Structure 1
Amino acid sequence: MYNISKQLIILFVITSLFFIPFVTTVPAQEQMEEETKEAGSMTVDLLLIRPFGILATLLGSAAFVVSLPFSVMGGNIEPAYEKMVAEPASFTFKRPLGSF
């Protein structure tokens, strides 16, 4: 009886040691894929999206200055500022890198 239980314990330990590398690499691969996706989205954001956001902020600011006399007459300076300047600036400068 003692011999059988000892053999079962040894078999369990050997089996566990055999499967440990397979079990631990799967979460590591998933985490690595997430980090790669995150790094890719950060790169695209930095090189493509942010420059367009800066351009949109500059063009929106210019359009706001041009439309300012009409906004004053219409009494809607605040909404015009929000849509033309604040929203593009917030999208460009306040959000975390890589989040869209």
Structure 2
Amino acid sequence: MNALGMIAKVTTLLLCLSVSQWSWGVGEVEENPSALAMTTDALIVRPVMIATTIVGSALWLVSAPFSLMGGNADQAADTLIVGPAESAFKRCLGCIGDGYKRGNMTE
């Protein structure tokens, strides 16, 4: 299997997992991730989601004229940019769902 094929499969898997995470909503998290979950999140998942955000931004820019004509530019931006960015930056390290730990939430 070539490297490009492997990257495509891993990205697809992570996007599928991220879609299920987005449906859970954002808020307080009651998870206690293990050291392995935190390490995997920091070394693999977050960099992939940041790269997905960058690629999604480029795809949105290319598709923006068509999205604007179709009236769904906001939906395209949410799907291609905001979703991956929230998955990368808006959850505790090693957590599956979006949100923050109780002690880290600001009022």
TM-score bracket relative to the smaller structure? 0.5 to 0.7
Ranked by relative contact order (alpha carbons within 8 Å, sequence separation 6 or more), the top structure is 2
Q: CA–CA distance in 2 between the matches of 1:48 and 1:75?
A: 35
More helix by share: 1
Deviations 1:60-88 (A, max 9, x none): 00000000000111011110010000000
Aligned counterpart, 2:56: 60
- Establish whether residue 82 from structure 1 lines up as the match of residue 91 from structure 2: no
Larger Rg: 1
Deviations 1:18-48 (A, max 9, x none): xxxxxxxxxxxxxxxxx8x611110010001
Q: Structure 1: any 5+ residue segments left out of the alignment?
A: 1-34
Pick from 68, 83, 97 the counterpart of residue 72 of structure 1: 68
Report the TM-score, using the length of structure 1 for normalisation: 0.62
Amino acid in the other structure paired with 1:67: S
Aligned counterpart, 2:94: 98
Identity of aligned residues (%): 45
Q: CA–CA distance in 2 between the matches of 1:56 and 1:74?
A: 24
TM-align CA RMSD: 1.3
Q: CA–CA distance in 1 between the matches of 2:36 and 2:43?
A: 11
Moved over 2 A (4+): none
Q: Structure 2: any 5+ residue segments left out of the alignment?
A: 1-31, 97-107
